[in-house]
Chains A and B, each alone.
Chain A
Amino acid sequence: MAKINLYNTYLNMEKEDIILSFKGDITKDLLSSVYQIVEARMESENEDQKRKKKFYHVLVECLQNMYHHMESLQESGAKGELHDQAGSAIFMVGRGEAGCYLIYTGNFILHENAEQLKEKIDKINGMNPVELKAYYLERLGASELSEKGGAGLGIIDIARKSGNKIEYDFQTISETFSFFTLSAKIN
């Protein structure tokens, strides 16, 4: 097994301006800890309050979106070749040009759910802010709350609050699974 050169990892993260990264099981407790870390860090930073709030809001939605994906994947029982990895995912938070915040999440998803998700994001990405707001209100007012709590509003809200298009990728990793990557940018 090749040894990890932690210094190189450190340098890479420094270069990419990564604030936080995690790979592993996504649990409620983990998310609680992440929120605490991020809040503490934001408090210490001399940053515009509005931008901080938007970032925190989008971060919560991105992480919970990933959490619900993992939850439904585990409930589907379709572990297949993923074995224990089925509850595992990755996320990163970094800074980019002009101090923008970047949020990345990556998780496994069943092929059968990928197409629907792709269509949903494409639809949302095609909307301007006025259309997004109308769509959000329509979804909020119309649908019953799903037990999962997802209610389909998360993705709309990420687009609405971030003010940018949602970038995504689906990478086929087997006959059953894709790896879904989502990235959100907060100016």
Chain B
Amino acid sequence: MENLIVEGTNKTPTVKLIADSGLLEISGKSIPENSFGFYQPLLTWLDNYIAQPSPKTEVKIILEYFNTSSSKCILDMLRKLESLKKTSRSEVVILWHYEKEDEDMMEAGQDYNSLVDLPFELIEL
């Protein structure tokens, strides 16, 4: 399957979803007015990936800011990954990054960890 690469802008993150290696990375800012429009291709890509996943799926999230409408889309992505983990066809890990002393971003990682059954590593940058 094809990879999904999206260049970041001042409102949307850089996206690198690599199917073969199972390396999924989202970095930068995510503050679009219409988050659903931005995340829809990512969610569709995930649906296809889940059908033929890599044995290991490493999800790197390195967000500086995200708005509340993005927070919903991020949860939708994590829920899809949770369903992948449940199939036992891929070992899924979420690497949630936050800048030093950014307690809000660290807490956001903990919040997601409480909402989905996936292993989270909180990593300070």
Contacts and interface: CB of A to CB of B under 8 A. Distances in A.
A168 B112 CA distance: 31
Nearest to B34: A149
Contacts of B10: 32, 35-36
Nearest to A158: B68
B45 interface: no
B75 A64 contact: no
Contacts of A137: 111, 114-115
Interface string B96-122: 000001111000000100110000000
A67 B31 CA distance: 13
A161 interface: yes
Contacts of A143: 72
Nearest to A154: B68
Contacts of A136: 111
B76 interface: yes
Contacts of B35: 145, 149
Interface string A137-154: 100110101011111011
17 contacts: A28-B33, A31-B33, A32-B10, A35-B10, A35-B11, A57-B65, A64-B67, A64-B69, A67-B33, A137-B114, A137-B115, A140-B71, A145-B72, A151-B68, A151-B69, A154-B68, A156-B68
Given A56-B65, A149-B34, A153-B69, 20 more contacts: A35-B11, A36-B10, A49-B101, A50-B102, A50-B103, A53-B102, A57-B104, A60-B65, A61-B68, A67-B33, A136-B111, A140-B75, A145-B73, A145-B76, A148-B34, A149-B32, A149-B72, A151-B69, A153-B68, A154-B67
Interface of A: 28, 31-32, 35-36, 49-50, 53-54, 56-57, 60-61, 64, 67-68, 133, 136-137, 140-141, 143, 145, 147-151, 153-154, 156-157, 161
